[in-house]
Structure 1
Amino acid sequence: MPTSGIYLVADSASTAGRPLAEIVKAAVDGGITTVQLRCKDLAAAHFLDIVLGCARHTAGRAQLLVNDRVDVFLAARAAGADVQGVHIGQSDLPASLVRGLIGPDAVLGLSAATDAQIEAANRLQSSSPGTIDYLGVGAVHATPTKKDHPEPLGHAGLARAVGLSGLPVIAIGGIDAADVAPLARTGAAGVAVVRAICAAEDPRAAATNLRSLWEGTKP
């Protein structure tokens, strides 16, 4: 399970031309403890190179997850990289099969957007405990980083999803600094950001600020 708090989805299409490893290093220096690498349009070999490069910055400091590409995760692990798991979507390989491929100790996250998808995840977790570690639920807001996002949930919809889910929920979708406190109050285990760090002029400062906002909501 990702460490609760701010979760960076490092998207190769959202870095304003900067190397993804540079963004990841800055974010981890700013206190981010979970990073998911999302490289939708890259060939496997190129994506693997990025994972290996980013792992040098996260090793021993943050969990590193691979979006969608179970093959890239397995290749990175075989190459000795410090990678912790994968995050998959509803149209990817079934979570039960992915768990068998990545092993019992790797982190497995699953995207969910509807009541039906959350309830299906609850049923899977009930029948096969430990299959899924957390749900990435959204979109909270409309976001250009994912053009096929579902109808936005808003803060109230996210709170409802948290209540419905039997798994920890990471909120995602167009989230910025103003969303952190209200989303923390929904009971979400964390909030995932993309552009709020990847597109920031100073990603390290942005990460530090987001983490402070999250920590400020805790007793």
Structure 2
Amino acid sequence: MTEKECGHQHDEEPNNPLRRLIAALIGFVILILFIILLIWLILRPTKPHFILQDATVYAFNTSAPFNFLTTNIQITIASRNPNGRIGIYYDKLDIYATYRGQQVTLPTLLPQTYQGHKDVSIWSPFVYGNNVPIAPYLGSAISQDLMVGTVLLNVKIDGRVKWKVGSFISGKYHLYVNCPAYVGVGGKMMGNSVVVGKSSAIKYQLVQNCHVDV
């Protein structure tokens, strides 16, 4: 055997097992990813459906000169998992209310929930904010809405979901829910303020479908 052949053989022998191991690992990873993709395409997960069922208004008051808003509303919202083979984990869901694009309540954290196949979950949280400053341009708008007696609020949920297929649990996906709701807040003027229902709460049946993005 010539010196050139010996050197060539000496260079290849240590590298062949390493290359085979790397190729095997790459092939294994590709196979696992392909299986996951195939399962995903077969099952075709569908985003959950949300319905805003009702809202009970305990307070929706402005203070002079309509630059501060106090809100206390109990929301009943239902979620349904439409998937027959996929479960849903709801993780760190915050619910809050906005008025004409401005958030007017603090976020309320909903409990972590697992939703099985075709299951329905119902939450009844309070969303509230005390003397929340509102943008000056909203002052006249909110005063007019309050005098008319109806306010358009958007109840929103912001959080994360995970999909469960058998024993496999996916990574976290962003969940965004928007539920428009016309809420009656008929009040009366007291000085420079509009005051709503101090003595009793007012409950409104809404049954409003929500827009969901995942």
Structure holding more strand per residue: 2
TM-score scaled to structure 2, two decimals? 0.18
TM-score scaled to structure 1, two decimals? 0.18
Structure holding more helix per residue: 1
